[in-house]
Structure 1
């Protein structure tokens, strides 16, 4: 939110720099004394965690790219060489691979937090849309990075997923085939495909970093949302970002690093697939193609729809629909905590997403396919039917008069309903 600058240069060098390139003033105003709602809880620390994980992915990715060979003959062997012969190569490779899972885990939590507390509502629509764009870029980047291992699962995942675009020929003859051949760089998945995916995988994290800067900028215009969804009314409703929230974010990052470290050092392959330790073989299809865990809900949606073109539309639509949430939700109340009917639908939606992840990992047959289709229907119904309708008929609970009241109570005493 806009606030008057309180930065005062204390040295001659700072005054000289402040009149030419006011970076210290920017850091002081936007990350030092920036006012934050005083009731913001630990669910808000995942923004800082995501920034940290993006830095980890970029740093480890740059070093890995120095040793990686993007050829069909050398890709798989170069990854093994990194693991065995490069100093600390195993750590870099596992940190990058496990880091991708941690990155998505934090992104999903961050997204569900935004949904629960209504962080997409006015005046934060652009902020939300930029966040969804970051998620979309993450998915694209991870898919391209998964192909670079050039193991059995990577090769066939690229073959199957890119082939789906041929369904666009149904809409515009030749469009899908042309697009697939452009991605492949030929008439099948091969070395040109690997080169293109490697180049784009290296580029996209820097695009993500640029969008993250826009995301933070968009956050600092209206200010941060809070668990009650009540707007800041007075200065007493806020606290400066430093030291109160820098300490909070730092502590959360340390705890998250402990989780990261457990997988990194004790179970680095737990979230992967054993078939990816087999070199890619175009003549042998794996019995069951399973993508990385963070793709599974979308993969389940794709397989739940029997028509190929509609399946692709459902796959893409599962992300695209998120862009329109600010206008699909008709309720004026931000926080689901004060919406007794919608709260039940929200938690059912969370269960539905977890179930889709499970069904995406299983063979699409029998009762699993049936329930996968039911969960797919509910996924889209939540946004397109439940959000608009419940917002019109629901009677919300009474909101606190201010953020201060939600924390301290009306008379300045501790309130059982507050979150510090």
Structure 2
């Protein structure tokens, strides 16, 4: 037995490490993990996403203790699911705080994830050898969208009910399997108790398990190949006599301290929203969602939550006239990429796809193509590592007009998001169509424009 407290601590830690590799884990992923020394503001958002994930899991556990996924009416004629949320807000000690933290956290999750993805776009963090990191991140984004969609129905408010009704009905536009798929998602012929319980199980159990697994895979892949940096330079290429990167510093304590500071600032902003503007003018919590779901009364304007609206705008903009504009854009794409396609087989496949699209536009309803374009606008993110043919990673060393294209892409995304929450009208529809073409063209024309222009020389080592 040890003779003093210090020896006791050493003995206990040694006992733990012989049975569980805590010390080696900390060394590999914190003190021994070297990150580039030139991280900037944009690199806060990865750790902030973990902070929000923790908030959502913890608050979700407390909400599940009192929430009842039951669409039947109580003695007062109010759906029990809606009444349980009202009970949490009014009767459970600090229930209002937990509920507002969870609802605000849902929106904040997408804020930090969108910023995190934008940073990857700016600095080419999806390029070789980090393709898997990007793919895992894109899968996380899909899981977040599914998690938000399933959770949106649970309050059983008016907008929750009708929003779910609209989204589920979109799947019926898929030829051959659409009706059966919609029925499987609902669990019934109408949105009801079966749907609510099904969505509850997905939101509370299935999707979070997949999400946490993907986060672990994302971090494991990151620590295997190392972090990118604003210069897009591999710090592993320049090492000292000990084999340590000359332009790297240990993640702990240097970046853990910075991340703690960033988390503190973020939490101040987060709780300012929670305490003073939890509804955020109807963008985080809609006024109609404080009304119990009524299957007999349709709201005058149905729109998803703000983080879905850019993609919803693409869906809503897809009309028969718009499809023929897409066909013309497809022809332009073929002309611009003809030399890049190289082989006869590649050219034949692209032309065949374009001809098949023309036939489909003629005989298949525009609603299906709207659903398809909405899906493509998300799925195309997975192919970004192979669409970008630039000889450099970072935007710092690309032609200045590339930055203009990035700006137009971001503008299109935000403008589509704004138009998605507005009631439809002929003018906004035309604007949405133009913006949708701009959003999709950014990706589909990337193999062409990403290699054009005069590129700056990339330094061999990172800059401060």
How does the TM-score come out when normalised to structure 2? 0.83
Q: Does 1:194 align with 2:196?
A: yes
Task: Work out which of the residue numbers 404, 410, 416 in structure 2 matches 1:350.
Answer: 410
Q: Distance in 1 between matches of 2:300 and 2:204?
A: 31
Deviation of residue 272 (structure 1)?
Answer: 1.8
Q: Compute the TM-score of the two structures, normalised by the length of structure 1.
A: 0.91
Question: CA–CA distance in 1 between the matches of 2:90 and 2:285?
Answer: 19
Q: Which residue of 2 aligns with 1:14?
A: 13
Cα-to-partner distance string for 1:248-271 (whole Å, 9 max, x where unaligned)? 111111111111111100001122
| 2:313 counterpart of 1:300 | yes
Give the whole-Å Cα distance in 1 for the aligned partners of 2:413 and 2:22.
42
Deviation for aligned residue 1:365? 1.6
RMSD: 1.2
- For 2:253 and 2:21, the matched residues in 1 are separated by 22
Residue aligning to 2:363 = none
* Corresponding residue of 1:374: 434
Q: Residue 60 of structure 1 aligns to a residue in which SS?
A: helix
Match of 1:416 in 2: none
1:248 aligns with one of 249, 254, 258:
258
Show structure 1 runs of 5+ residues with no match: 1-9, 408-420
Residue 100 of structure 1 is matched in structure 2 by 106
Equivalent residue number for residue 69 of structure 1: 68
Q: CA–CA distance in 2 between the matches of 1:96 and 1:27?
A: 31
Q: In structure 1, what is the equivalent of residue 85 of structure 2?
A: 79
Other structure's SS at 2:234 match: coil
**How far did 1:352 drift?**
0.8
Give the C-alpha shift of residue 167 in structure 1: 0.8
Q: Corresponding residue for 1:3?
A: none
Q: 1:273 is matched with which residue?
A: 286
* Contact persistence 1:125–1:326 (CA under 8 A): yes
**Separation in structure 1 between the aligned mates of residue 15 and residue 291 of structure 2, nearest angstrom:** 59
Aligned length: 391
Please name the residue that 2:38 is paired with: 39
Tell me the distance in 2 between the aligned counterparts of 1:394 and 1:330: 12
On the 8 A contact 2:154/2:160 being kept in 1, the answer is yes
**1:101·1:294 contact (CA, 8 Å) conserved in 2?**
yes
- Conserved in 2, the CA contact under 8 Å of 1:42 and 1:252? no
Structure 2's unaligned 5+ residue stretches are 1-8, 72-78, 240-244, 320-365
- Runs ≥4 in structure 1, deviation > 6 angstroms? none
Q: Give yes or no for contact 2:391–2:451 (8 Å, CA) kept in 1.
A: no
Structure 1 partner of 2:226: 223
Q: 1:14: Cα distance to partner?
A: 3.0
C-alpha displacement at 1:394, in angstroms? 2.2
Residue by residue over 1:26-48, the C-alpha shift from the partner in whole angstroms, topping out at 9 and shown as x without a partner, is 02220223101011112111111
